[in-house]
Amino acid sequence: MAVNRVPVLKRCRSLGLEPQYLGYDKKSNRTSARAGKKMSEYGLQLREKQKAKFIYGVLEKPFRNYYEKADRMKGMTGENLMVILERRLDSVIFRMGFARTRREARQIVGHKHVLVNGKNIKVPSYLIKAGDVIEIREKSKSLQRYKDIVEVTAGRLVPEWMDVDIEGLKGTVKALPTREQIDVPVNEMLIVELYSK
């Protein structure tokens, strides 16, 4: 399994991204060496794709598959792509506040701490549907790790498309998100332009 070991702040700097979108409170004072340089159209498109891949922790092949799936769906391909990425189980766990960062959310899912509709799911890329109930399994709820997580994420805004009981570590996906409800700084139209060449 491929693992992304790139230092988060360094990657955020090169992509012109705020670390908060990944759940990190740190801030980098340094600027990228390429800051201020003019980029080609292709460079801009590629950067948007890399930004989306980095935020959601998806590698090239699965990302391409998500794009093809979004292309086959009704509606705008770019918006569909963002909704699919947001529906990933690790992303939903992060949004619900059961993890401090997206990477931690991925680890929690991989370690079999998550139940979806009562079933244990250990695949971070599992796509959530409207009406799904997601919770941390009973055995794990008492762990100190989750007490620390709840302390950190209690003030985090939960998106309106989900209903969360942060103390009980349980949440429901009321409906699938729309593009307006996804606060990720990615221009998905540039990704569509890149792939449709």
DSSP one-letter code for 176? P
The average confidence (pLDDT) of the chain is 87
Question: Measured between alpha carbons, how far apart are the two ends of the chain, in Å?
Answer: 30
The least confident of 36-45, 104-113, 163-172, 173-182 is 36-45
Contact 173, 83 (CB under 8 A): no
Domains along the chain with CATH numbers: 8-85+183-195 (1.10.1050.10), 89-176 (3.10.290.10)
Angle at 82 between CA 161 and CA 186, to 5 degrees: 115
At 35 the pLDDT is: 57
The least confident of 6-10, 14-18, 25-29, 143-147 is 25-29
Selection from 82, 36, 98 nearest residue 185 by Cα? 82
Q: Is the predicted pLDDT of residue 1 greater than 60, yes or no?
A: no
- 3-state DSSP assignment of residue 127: strand
At 22 the pLDDT is: 74
DSSP one-letter code for 88? B
How far, in Å, are 1, 107, 137, 145, 153 from residue 121 at the CA level?
Answer: 18, 12, 11, 19, 23
Average confidence (pLDDT) over 171-194 = 92
* Count of CB atoms situated within 10 Å of the CB of 172: 15
Q: Is the predicted pLDDT of residue 2 greater than 80, yes or no?
A: no
At 6 the pLDDT is: 73
At 107 the pLDDT is: 92
At 106 the pLDDT is: 92
Average confidence (pLDDT) over 110-123 = 93
Residue 98: which residues within 8 A CB-CB, separation 6 or more?
A: 105, 108, 136, 146, 149, 153, 169, 171
Secondary element (H or E) of residue 163: strand 162-165
Q: Considering only residues 22 and 113, tell me which one the structure prediction assigns the higher pLDDT.
A: 113
